[in-house]
Amino acid sequence: MAAVCGVVGLAAMPLTAQAQSDSFRIDANATHTTDLTICNPEVRVVLSGDGDTDLDFVIRNVRGDIVHSDYGLTDQSSATLQRQARSGCENFELRTTNLGNVWNLLDVSLENIRTDSGNPIDTDSYRVDANSTHRVDLSICSLQVIVRVSGDGDTDLDFVIRNSRGETVHSDYDLTDQTSATLSRRNGVSCETFELETSNLGNVYNLFTVQLEDVVRDTAVRSTGDGNNRDISIQNRTGQTITYLYWSNVGADGWGDDKLGSGILANGQDWNVTVDDGSGACRFDFRARLADGRDLEQRNVDVCSVFVVQFAGNGK
């Protein structure tokens, strides 16, 4: 029998989405070709058939090089695809061959592992039955984490997130099955458990994914290794949100990159961080930009001897 090939595009979702999945029918003794469009630096591809036949898989990059192959005696496989370009998207080709005498329904799922900002991503999937509620514990160990939730599109989902004290920190009752929120870990604890409550308002089940992305972590990347303790607590007591935060040693030119990245430092929040640029410097200048556009600065701070840098309404 001649091979039957079809081409269907499956694009990896951008940063604002969770994961994307789609299903394809692979006819008996036939081959199916699917385009995978990868728009994040690293994406996990999970392939799962219906269990009725053996499937073989080959994935090629845009140059035609084989980056993954699986000729095992199952209909499941997984691979991590890395985009070669620094930005934009790259197309990969998934070629699936059905070795059985009946058709096989193949599920292809794309899960973002890492974003363009370098932030790691954890993704998991859950099933919430029709007209039911499902609860998931989210363990937040970084200072700030973005949680993104996305259903399969079949029903309306409502969401409520509560912190460890039972307080509602996010709710979404719109007519979709998607939501997102920024969760800030409580001061003084290494991890905090939040509860995600998902209610399915439809008459069929909904398979939803939960994605956690670290936005603000607790430690800097570089280390001088001279024995000095450069761990400090940066405290926001300004009465408003700090949207950008910079520091540089007093001998450096310019402020460098925003240390918060895509995160924020809310009023009343502390950030426990190691201020170490690898130069051996102890004295640093700090600048915080508030939500109203005003800049507050702390100059010539000896991070090897102080433990707190506080921004207050008067700039001190």
What average pLDDT values come out for the chain (316 residues) when binned by 10 residues?
A: 29 37 89 86 84 94 89 88 74 94 90 57 80 90 81 91 87 89 73 91 90 61 61 86 91 86 79 81 93 92 87 65
CA angle 21, 27, 28 (to 5 degrees): 135
CA angle 93, 94, 97 (to 5 degrees): 135
Burial 32-57 (b: 16+ CB within 10 A, else e): bbbebbbbbbbbbbbbbbbeebebbb
Q: CA 38, CA 230: separation in Å to the nearest integer?
A: 39
CA angle 150, 154, 157 (to 5 degrees): 50
Burial label, 70 (beta-carbon count in 10 A; 0-12, 13-18, 19+) = middle
**pLDDT at position 315, please?**
44
Q: CA 123, CA 18: separation in Å to the nearest integer?
A: 8
Instruction: Tell me how crowded residue 9 is: count the other CB atoms within 10 A of its CB.
Output: 10
Q: Which residues contact 148 (CB under 8 A, 6 or more apart)?
A: 16, 17, 18, 178, 179, 180, 210, 211, 213
Tokens 């929120």, located at residue: 181
Q: Determine contact, residues 82/41, Cβ cutoff 8 Å.
A: yes
User: Cα dihedral sign for 131, 135, 136, 140?
Assistant: positive
Q: CA 50, CA 35: separation in Å to the nearest integer?
A: 21
Q: CA 304, CA 306: separation in Å to the nearest integer?
A: 6
**pLDDT at position 202, please?**
94
Reading across the β-sheet that carries 157-162, which strands appear in turn? 133-140, 192-200, 157-162, 168-172
**pLDDT at position 83, please?**
78
Q: How far is CA 180 from the centre of its chain?
A: 11
CA angle 52, 58, 63 (to 5 degrees): 155
Strand partners, 82: 42
Tokens 């997130």, located at residue: 161
Taken in order of first residue, the domains within the chain and their CATH numbers are: 7-111 (2.60.120.380), 121-216 (2.60.120.380), 231-312 (2.60.40)
**pLDDT at position 8, please?**
30
Q: CA 266, CA 291: separation in Å to the nearest integer?
A: 10
**pLDDT at position 11, please?**
37
Strand partners, 140: 192
Q: Determine contact, residues 94/33, Cβ cutoff 8 Å.
A: yes
Q: Determine contact, residues 158/136, Cβ cutoff 8 Å.
A: no
Largest pairwise CA distance in the chain: 79
Strand partners, 162: 168, 195
Tokens of 190: 């290494």
**pLDDT at position 189, please?**
66
Residue among 61, 63, 10, 69 nearest 34 (CA): 10
